[in-house]
């Protein structure tokens, strides 16, 4: 049995659930668990609220989660090491995604015993075999969008709309700045906008951000629209709006990634920073037809 662990924010949860769906397509015994550690992180379990994907905290899931916690417990070595060795003997192990984020085909193979998969699984190679299923699963309900967002949607539909997702907030705090916050700099966005102008005639840029004042300070013009409607538990509605834009300028995050990937245009331009994490290039994290921007 393979068990996929769901954790962190909406974009991560979507990647993990897409990975789960493909593994379940391969092996029907595959299950997923929502990490209780993520209840108070970001907006908790978002797949239900956004896409109606239910999570049932059944007895078997409770047992599996307890087993998962024991298998990953390392605080007191004199207790944890014997317990982990015993679980490994029974075929119970934790599989952590490789640090380079490269696609590993062996992760899609059914496992003997019980294997808990912990990672982001952001490469589309982990679920492209069932792309149609993924697109049907991650459909937004227009009835939940709200009148203000529908008004923005109308503007998006009548222009050559370019989404610009500027993620700052948690990316620029002391824990994440050097690793994540220094990737999509002001210079990156300026160069990406210049590149998009060379690809699209008369574009209109729609900015989505969790740092409205920074965007307002740095981006002004008749072809710029700053969207400041959706916050906290409503932030998923930005993903809906972004996915409806014609083309995209992304930040280095899974929210941006999925917002662009869900675009149903035949040939959207998607500009992304070459490095997903500062000074690190991961060859499988972006689809091959996306435009990697470097030297900014």
Q: Mind listing the pLDDT tens digit for each residue in 76-116? A: 666 677 878 878 888 899 999 998 899 999 999 999 999 99
Closest CA to 164 of 131, 128, 133, 203: 203
Give the CATH number of domain 141-293; options: 3.40.50.11350, 3.40.50.150, 3.40.50.300, 3.40.50.720.
3.40.50.11350
Long-range pairs for 270-278: beta carbons < 8 A, 24 or more residues apart? 271/192, 271/195, 271/196, 273/183, 273/184, 273/188, 275/183, 276/101, 276/183, 276/252, 277/179, 277/180, 277/183, 277/252, 278/178, 278/179, 278/180, 278/182, 278/183
Closest CA to 179 of 296, 94, 99: 99
Contact predicate 262/135, CB 8 Å: yes
Per-domain residue ranges for the chain? 2-132, 141-293
Q: Mind listing the pLDDT tens digit for each residue in 251-287? A: 999 999 999 999 988 889 999 999 998 888 999 999 9
Q: Mind listing the pLDDT tens digit for each residue in 34-77? A: 998 766 667 899 999 999 999 999 999 999 999 999 898 777 66
**How far apart are alpha carbons 220 and 224 in whole angstroms?**
6
- Joined together, the tokens standing for residue 45 give 């379990």
Beta-carbon contacts of 69 under 8 Å, excluding residues fewer than 6 positions away, are none
**What is residue 75's predicted lDDT score, i.e. its pLDDT?**
73
* CB count in 10 Å sphere of residue 157: 11
């Amino acid at each position: 049995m393979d068990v996929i662990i769901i954790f962190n924010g909406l974009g991560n949860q979507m990647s993990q659930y897409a990975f789960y769906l493909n593994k379940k397509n391969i092996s029907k015994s595959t299950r997923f668990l929502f990490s209780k550690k993520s209840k108070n992180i970001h907006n908790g379990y978002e797949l239900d609220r956004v896409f109606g994907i239910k999570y049932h905290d059944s007895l078997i899931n409770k047992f599996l989660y307890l087993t998962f916690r024991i298998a990953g417990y390392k605080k007191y070595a004199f207790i944890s090491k014997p317990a982990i060795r015993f679980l490994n003997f029974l075929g119970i192990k934790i599989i952590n995604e490789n640090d380079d984020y490269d696609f590993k085909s062996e992760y899609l193979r059914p496992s003997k015993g019980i294997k808990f998969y912990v990672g982001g699984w952001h490469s589309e190679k982990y679920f492209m075999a069932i792309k149609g299923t993924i697109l049907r699963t991650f459909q937004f309900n227009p009835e939940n969008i709200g009148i203000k967002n529908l008004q923005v949607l109308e503007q998006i539909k009548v222009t050559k709309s370019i989404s610009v997702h500027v993620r700052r907030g948690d990316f620029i705090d002391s824990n994440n700045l050097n690793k994540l916050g220094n990737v999509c700099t002001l210079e990156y966005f300026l160069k990406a906008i210049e590149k998009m102008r060379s690809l699209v005639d008369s574009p209109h840029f729609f900015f989505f951000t969790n740092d409205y004042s920074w965007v307002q300070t740095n981006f002004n013009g008749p072809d710029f629209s700053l969207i400041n409607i959706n916050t906290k538990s409503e932030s998923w509605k930005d993903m809906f709006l972004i996915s409806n834009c014609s083309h995209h300028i992304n930040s280095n995050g899974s929210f941006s990634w999925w917002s662009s990937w869900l675009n149903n245009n035949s040939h959207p331009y998607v500009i992304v920073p070459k490095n997903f994490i500062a000074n690190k290039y991961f060859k499988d994290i972006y689809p091959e037809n996306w435009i990697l921007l470097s030297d900014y």
